[in-house]
Amino acid sequence: MQSQICNPDHCTGCMACLNICNSNSIKIKTGVTGHLYPYIDTSVCTDCGLCHKICPENTPLSLSAGSYAYAGWHKDPDNYKTSASGGAAAALSELIISRGGAVYGCVEEKGKIKHIRISDSKELHRFKGSKYVQSEIKEIYKPLLKDLREGRQVLFTGTPCQAAGLRSYLRKDYANLYIADLICHGVPSQKDLNDHIQQKCGTTDVDSIKFREGNTFCLSVKKGEQTLYRSLLWEERYSDSFFNAFIDGYNYRESCYHCRYACPDRVSDITIGDFWGLGDDIKADNKNGCSCIIPVTEKGKELLENIEDRFILHRRDIEEAIKGNDQLRAPMVMNRRIKIFRAIYPILGQSLSYKLLNADRIIKLRTKKSIKRL
């Protein structure tokens, strides 16, 4: 028998329940969109109620607003260029490792997006870059708690719902724990990505998948040195169905459309993202992208003070950050196109559903291009 931990439409897949359960009763199933959903296997459950109690959807956490933001980028050019935006996450990670600590974050390994622990600075490059898929958390909060109890400084980076999952699992604050969450507009599933790669490359046995090349959104798949597939988003708009569905908000987890963390109030010590809508006064200096950093707690502020030797920081009004970034105001709105996409997707699959839904836009764009060529 199965029973639910929270309303599946609101379940973020943070996996706090999986990590807290002592009786191995939490099992995982795959939903229609390919996202992972925990449930209770009642045949082994001891009815302790912990999973219900700590679930951040059942027991919401307190959130706090930052009162100012920073625009910034890494001083080291190589570090800057290889980061998703300005390299704020990289600078924070380097700081914690230099203090003998451990960093938990998201890597891509042979096409699989997952959270891992790193304590060696040589390995930190693996965290770099945004992977536009919900990263698999599994039972990663357990070794993190062990690190905390052993007195190590720990930095956790992840989506706001994962940050909430970790806080809920821990149930108390630890002075040696720093949490950095990303500004996030939603997460597609690993299954969706796998299906797409299979369709485009004829295999999912790949060595690497990248979602960004500097400031450019790009899906590129490699096997060894050979590029199996590469699509640049803005050059070929509507052509790659996975990436375009992500940008347009079609293929997110259901909970992303009700996300309680897509707002100015934050769940972590420090929030990082892209500084969209940055004023022209400093725009020209950051061609490879610019981080938006919002210190929320005293710990977040302390981290920032200590990366100033490696990171350029310009203080900005919080309103500027919020105005430029939709997901600092509200979750992605499920509009009519998204609703239809999600209704036909299980029957027609991602590629056909996306193309059908955007046929008018695709025709318009092609006509425009033909006229330009003429």
Binding site for ligand FAD (CB under 6 A): 83-90, 105-106, 113, 127-133, 135, 157-159, 182-185, 187, 272-274, 291-292, 325, 327
- How many beta carbons lie within 10 A of that of residue 16, not counting itself? 29
Select 57 or 181, whichever has its Cβ closest to ligand FAD.
181
Select 25 or 130, whichever has its Cβ closest to ligand FAD.
130
- CA–CA separation, 279 and 144 (whole Å): 39
Select 231 or 325, whichever has its Cβ closest to ligand FAD.
325
Considering Cα of 57, then 141, then 103, then 255, what sign does the dihedral take?
A: negative
In the complex, the smallest distance separating the C-beta of residue 224 from ligand FAD, rounded to whole angstroms, is 23
Query: Six-digit token pair at 137?
Result: 């958390």
Select 51 or 116, whichever has its Cβ closest to ligand FAD.
116
Beta strands in the chain (DSSP E): 2-3, 26-30, 36-41, 64-65, 68-74, 102-109, 112-118, 154-158, 177-182, 208-213, 216-223, 226-232, 265-266, 270-274, 291-295, 311-317
Beta strands in 43-140 (DSSP E): 64-65, 68-74, 102-109, 112-118
| Nearest of 132, 157, 135, 154 to residue 145 by alpha carbon | 154
In the complex, the smallest distance separating the C-beta of residue 332 from ligand FAD, rounded to whole angstroms, is 9
In the complex, the smallest distance separating the C-beta of residue 327 from ligand FAD, rounded to whole angstroms, is 4
Select 41 or 136, whichever has its Cβ closest to ligand FAD.
136
Select 105 or 111, whichever has its Cβ closest to ligand FAD.
105
- CA–CA separation, 166 and 61 (whole Å): 11
Select 132 or 345, whichever has its Cβ closest to ligand FAD.
132
In the complex, the smallest distance separating the C-beta of residue 105 from ligand FAD, rounded to whole angstroms, is 3
- CA–CA separation, 124 and 129 (whole Å): 11
Select 23 or 82, whichever has its Cβ closest to ligand FAD.
82
In the complex, the smallest distance separating the C-beta of residue 120 from ligand FAD, rounded to whole angstroms, is 16
In the complex, the smallest distance separating the C-beta of residue 374 from ligand FAD, rounded to whole angstroms, is 37
Pseudo-torsion of CA 88, 62, 264, 105, nearest 10°? 20
In the complex, the smallest distance separating the C-beta of residue 219 from ligand FAD, rounded to whole angstroms, is 13
| Nearest of 122, 123, 126, 124 to residue 112 by alpha carbon | 126
In the complex, the smallest distance separating the C-beta of residue 137 from ligand FAD, rounded to whole angstroms, is 9
In DSSP notation, 333-345 reads: P--HHHHHHHHHH
Could you tell me which residues are beta bridge partners of residue 292?
71, 273
Select 40 or 95, whichever has its Cβ closest to ligand FAD.
95
Enumerate the H helices of 284-335 as residue ranges.
Answer: 298-305, 318-324
In the complex, the smallest distance separating the C-beta of residue 38 from ligand FAD, rounded to whole angstroms, is 18
Could you tell me which residues are beta bridge partners of residue 157?
180
Could you tell me which residues are beta bridge partners of residue 182?
272
